[in-house]
Structure 1
Amino acid sequence: MNAVKKVLIVGGGIGGLCAAIALRRQDIEVDLVELKTQWTVYGVGIIQQSNVVREMAKLGVLDGYLDAAYAFEDVTINTTAGEQLARIPGQRLAGPEYPANVGISRLALHQVLSETVAALGVSVRLGLSFESLEQVGEGVDVLFTDASRGRYDLVVGADGLYSHLRGLLFGEQYLPRFTGQSVWRYNFPRAAGIDHLATFQGPAGNAGLVPLGRDQMYLFVTSHEPANPRMEAATLATQMRQRLSGFTGLIGELREQITDSDQVVYKPLEVVFVSEPWYRGRVVLIGDAVHATTPHLGQGAGMAIEDAVVLGEELIAGGSVEQQLQRFMARRYERCKFISDSSVLAGDKEMAHDSSFDRIGLVRRMLDVTAAPI
């Protein structure tokens, strides 16, 4: 008999929603609480590379958003002027009927995930979190912030970079660290030639163009911000143009069209990695709560999605909860650590202006690692 029949998920971001879907697909009862009173979505768009496309197909949600997304095969790495240095073909890991890669707006993705969660019968409560947890016997007693209570076989923390659950399990041992870089994003109508993920190597950061749909793409650029300055909202467009000053070609043309500061999405890059088992008893953490990294390899959300799928598989694979979570860790730890370390390394090399760094080689290695079965 399955040891886990009822689960609480704390956090309603991509990782939490995917975990809810994965567990419901295994007939596990799921409650999900999200601290936000309104389910707003932060950011512009998201890249789902071959391994993520594979896992979304497993979750049964990929068909639900392909029409709202942009499917593409390849990734190019280019100079600041747009001269191509490498073209890396994608792999159709989800099967020949699906694309290698997908670009999608976060809003469109959230809509499909949240609708799927509702259709699968997940109990979702917004504006709510936990007040306290007590592990008693073969369960976890939870007191919620509205004074209600619940008892669960397992609690899953998907509450992000500033995870309250991580603090509860590990204290102050693991705190987010600012890397020295930030990322800037801005939406544009999709240019005809941007039918793939195009990245551009700059002198102080890297830029990229990501197709999100038939008529939309976004531009991103990383920048070195050693003092982590507070950016005045009214100056964001000017500041983003300045960070793109070393680029010509299409990026240079687009730079001059960045005029609306309200449309600039600016984010300092912070990381955290929990270097010990991500669970204590019957409470386990996934996603950014335990392995938040930088966007240099485009795999941050992908690792959270993989966590969700693997957790769903292990919770019905027999054995005690301890054995299930041990197997989960065995399948996830080294893979996530490779992505975390490699992403941070790429950013460090950017800030050091290390021209000898083989970014193309790292991207190829990442694609090989993530293509492997989990």
Structure 2
Amino acid sequence: MTDSLSRSVLVIGGGTAGNAATILLRRAGVAVDLVEAKPDWNVAAGSGITLQGNALRILRELGVWEKVKASGFAFGSLGVTAPDGTVLFVAEDIRTGGPDLPATLGMQRPRLQRILIDAVRASGAALRLGTTAESLAQDVDGVSVRFSDGTEGRYDLVIAADGLNSATRAAIGIPDRPEPTGMAIWRIAAPRPDGMERTDLTYGGPAYIAGYCPTSEDTIYAYVVEGCRDRASIPTESYADEMRGLAQGYGGFWPEIVKHIDDPAAVNYTWFDRHLVEGPWHRGRVVLIGDAAHCCPPTLAQGAAMSLEDASVLTELLTTRGDWDDQLLTDFRSRRLPRVRMVVDASVQLGQWMLDGVRDADVPGLIGRTMTALKERP
């Protein structure tokens, strides 16, 4: 252990990346303040999430794996079906977290957030909800921060985990911004039909992709992927009608799922984005992690995993090196960039093949190569 015990960190953003970094740093004895803009800490946001083994490995590192396992639905295969529901083939998932963890686990996203929130609270971190960092003033020794509640703080390091549209990223002069890929996704949580034991994907039909994932013994989340439309042209009160119109063109479990697509407030519509900061991920003593630094479409279900890995790798460096300097933060990016770029590029490529109508694309090969590479520890 280094003198990191005497240092302080501000984490901006209480999502997956920020919560994970807070938990790990506090476990190492680092003083951490966590500020989150949403007063409710996003406890109700999202329908479901698919977590591959490499994400589960970090959740075990955080000490929350047993709660995650009890709350989610683990499985080890992926089915591909025709639009009418006929199962075309079933492939065994690659165990990217090692042989002692499931290949995949689905769970309700709000439940995962609550588990992480409980771990943050138990860590002893200082928390402020409904609060943002309004200004950052750096010098060679640290960062002085003024907050939206009128208070100020002084930190050895600021970790910006404030998401895809990170205000901190813009404030420190990093110009990279997310770009739409041309696809959008409709999502909803629903009861789990009897007999649904894994994720199934359908390519083609009324949408590019239709799929579902069990998230507990009783629940699933279902989704359909189409081309981007102007969000302003879709009234929110029509969201259920829009998703139901696409989903009812599929067979298998879909007729049962469609029965529950009736509340527009329960349907989420989001564009797919590609984002990867190509230059340094830090300016001085402010460093980006998670979606603030990179984001990809969910075609490989690796977004949360990449954010969790960021938190783990950065904490490892901060707690094993004596100097929290430019070289440490440069090494953090250098270690993460090849792996993150591989995931971002593969996730975007899978969608682009569909947009371009490529019928002979090596989808299984690309997925297999990527997931095999992810078996290596970050």
Interval containing the TM-score (normalised by the shorter chain) = over 0.9
- Whether 2:27 is the aligned partner of 1:19: answer no
Tell me by how many angstroms 1:36 deviates.
1.1
RMSD between superposed Cα atoms in Å: 1.9
Q: Secondary structure of 1:266's partner?
A: strand
The match for 1:217 among 220, 231, 236 is: 220
Aligned pair 1:176/2:175, yes or no?
A: no
Alpha-carbon deviation of 1:13? 0.8
What SS is found at the alignment partner of 1:170? Answer: coil
1:293 matched to which residue of 2? 296
Give the alignment of 1:235-254 within 5 angstroms: 235-244=238-247, 246-254=249-257
- Give the Cα–Cα distance (whole angstroms) in 2 for the partners of residues 96 and 358 of structure 1: 27
Q: Is the 8 A contact 2:193 2:256 kept in 1?
A: no
Question: What pairs up with 1:107-186 in 2 under 5 angstroms?
Answer: 107-171=110-174, 173-186=175-188
Measured against aligned partners, the alpha-carbon deviations of 1:262-304 in whole angstroms (never above 9, x if no partner) come to: 2211112233211112111111001111112111111111110
Q: 1:320, CA displacement in angstroms?
A: 2.4
**1:1-374 alignment runs, 5 A limit:** 1-2=2-3, 5-40=7-42, 41-92=44-95, 94=97, 96-171=99-174, 173-203=175-205, 204-244=207-247, 246-255=249-258, 257-321=260-324, 322-374=326-378
Distance in 2, matches of 1:222 and 1:19, equals 32
User: For 1:308 and 1:185, how far apart are their aligned partners in 2?
Assistant: 27
Contact 2:52 2:97 survives alignment (8 Å): no
Relative to the length of structure 2, the TM-score reads 0.93
Distance 2:258 2:363 in 1: 24
SS in 1 for 2:262: coil
Structure 2 gap segments, 5+ residues each: none
CA distance in 1: counterparts of 2:228 and 2:204, whole angstroms = 15
State the alpha-carbon separation in 2 of the partners of residues 155 and 361 from structure 1.
40
Q: Percent of pairs identical after alignment?
A: 36
SS at match of 1:213: coil
Note the C-alpha offset of 1:252: 4.5
Aligned-residue offset at 1:323:
2.8
Amino acid at match of 1:358: D
1:102 aligned partner, one-letter code:
L
Normalising by structure 1, report the TM-score: 0.94
* 1:146, distance to aligned residue in structure 2 (A): 1.7
Is contact 1:205-1:223 (8 Å) kept?
A: yes
- Are the aligned partners of 1:77 and 1:199 in contact in 2 as well (CA < 8 Å)? yes
For residue 261 of structure 1, report the CA deviation from its aligned partner. Answer: 1.7
- SS across alignment from 2:11: strand
1:104 counterpart letter in structure 2: M
The one-character-per-residue Cα deviations of 1:302-353 (angstroms, maximum 9, x if unpaired) are 1101101111111112142223222211221111111111111212222222
Amino acid corresponding to residue 250 of structure 2 in structure 1: F
- The CA distance in 2 between the partners of 1:196 and 1:138, in whole Å, is 51
Q: Is the 8 A contact 1:50 1:90 kept in 2?
A: no
Letter in 2 for 1:38: D
Structure 2 CA distance for partners of 1:252 and 1:360, relative to 1, 3 Å: farther
- Partner SS, residue 146 of structure 1: coil
Check whether the contact 1:317–1:324 (CA below 8 A) recurs between aligned residues.
Answer: no
Measured after TM superposition, the shift of residue 258 of structure 1 is 2.1
Aligned partners of 2:50, 2:97: CA distance in 1, in Å?
16
How many Å separate the matches in 1 of 2:360 and 2:255? 25
C-alpha displacement of 1:176: 2.4
User: Is this contact kept in 1: 2:37–2:130, CA < 8 A?
Assistant: yes
Letter in 1 for 2:198: H
